[in-house]
Amino acid sequence: MRTRVAIIGAGPAGLLLALLLHRSGVDAVVLERRSRAYCESRVRAGVLEQGTVDTLTEAGVGDRMRAEGHVHHGIELRFGGRGHRIAFEDLVPGRAITVYGQQEVVKDLIAANLEAGVEIRFEVEDIALHDFTGPGDAAPGGPAPHLTFGTERLDCDFIAGCDGFHGVSRASIPADRLRVFEKTYPFAWLGILADTAPSAPELVYAASERGFSLHSMRSDHVSRFYLQVPPDTRPEDWTHDAIWAELKARHETVPGFTLTTGPITAVDVAAMRSFVVEPMRFGRLLLAGDAAHIVPPTGAKGLNLAVADVRVLARALGEYYRTGTTAGLDAYSATCLRRVWRVQHFSWWMTSLLHAFEGTDDYDRRLQRAQLEAVVGSRAQATALAENYVGLPYEDE
């Protein structure tokens, strides 16, 4: 079996890349170790930047997102017994976020790829990468890259590693050829999915001495919450009654606000970490999304950063097959990393701004409160938050 681009991973990054390449006339095959049902049901991010929404729409998978997603023009920062709205419509006119679950994005992308005739192989075991090294550029010559899985072989020109942090793609690169930047935070997030109507029209980021909490939503009838918890927390450590009690304690801190409770359908724990590898390209292997970088979820950037990578990669591969130029591929890593580090900074800043850190003294807590007051009291600082939250413009805009 042969294709031009072999894509490992059927998450948002791999599926969007396959669809964009198909629309550019470049054939690709997607290999995924999980089942289709697993990929379409895995609950993950739900906040889409303006650029992500525009990209999905341009790719032809925006209809259901526009019909079922919720467009938000602001978020609330809640602290000190008050709520403060960051108004996107005033600070960054024409840009917003859309709340639409990652699993829904995946469903739309799988359906669109299959309808277009793109081959997606699910439940593929023991994927191994071969001969993807070489002179380090995209020029012909040398052994051709290929993948093996089971008894099969897939020959290709390039391999796109979109298989996440624990995938085989990055692990196939010699460790001494990558530089790793990593930060682990001293807490985790307890994620809660509940069959209850949202208690607020927009996302609420609540900071208190008890710890951080986020009120989000997935639909008119499903809410998503997060609680800052110790890093060794297990889902079974929290009863549902204890979860609601703690959510109420952290959110019902402003007059007139009551948290709507209901059946909890899922509880999970997310580690809080920052991670980047450089470079994002090694020979004919190009990393995208979580395979190359992870951000703490405070700024809602993981999925959106993966989409930004894929835009750059799809354009570079399209140019290569259209004109033979390797300029875009040669610049791929540097182009993506410029945005990656800006997003890393924003996600670190939001995390540092809103969470309670064990061991901090009164001085540090006063500084944190002063920073929160500055953000909501300064138009310039509120604008900087809004610009980053709705998504920075792409380099090609």
Specify the pairing of strand 128-130 against strand 74-79: unpaired
Does the active-site annotation cover 107?
Answer: no
Active site residue 297: yes
**Is the separation of the CB atoms in 218 and 203 below 8 Å?**
no
301 is catalytic: yes
Selecting among 38, 70, 72, 345, the annotated active-site residue is 72
Chain centroid to Cα 317, Å, comes to 22
Determine which one of 12, 279, 296, 297 is catalytic.
297
Q: Which of 251, 301, 320, 332 is catalytic?
A: 301
From CA 111, how far away is CA 191, in angstroms rounded?
A: 28
Q: How many residues are given for the chain?
A: 397
Place of tokens 């380099």: 395
Amino acid at 108: D
- Strand 158-161's sheet: what is its strand order? 119-121, 28-31, 5-8, 158-161, 285-287, 281-282
Nearest by Cα to 17 from 158, 136, 144 = 158
For residue 2, what is the DSSP state? B
End-to-end CA separation in angstroms for the chain: 37
| From 226, 320, 332, 389, the catalytic residue | 389
Q: Which of 12, 100, 146, 205 is catalytic?
A: 205
Judge residue 160's burial from the number of C-beta atoms within 10 Å of its C-beta, 0-12 exposed, 13-18 middle, 19 or more buried.
buried
Q: Compute the distance between CA of residue 78 and CA of residue 321 in angstroms, rounded to an integer.
A: 50
Check residue 70 and give left, alpha or beta (phi > 0: left; psi -120 to 50: alpha). beta
The C-alpha atoms of residue 190 and residue 228 are separated, in whole angstroms, by 6
User: Does residue 205 have an active-site annotation?
Assistant: yes
Catalytic-residue membership of 320: no
- Among 279, 108, 329, CA closest to 178: 279
Q: Whole-angstrom Cα distance, residue 196 to residue 221? A: 5
Positions annotated as catalytic residues are 72, 205, 297, 301, 389
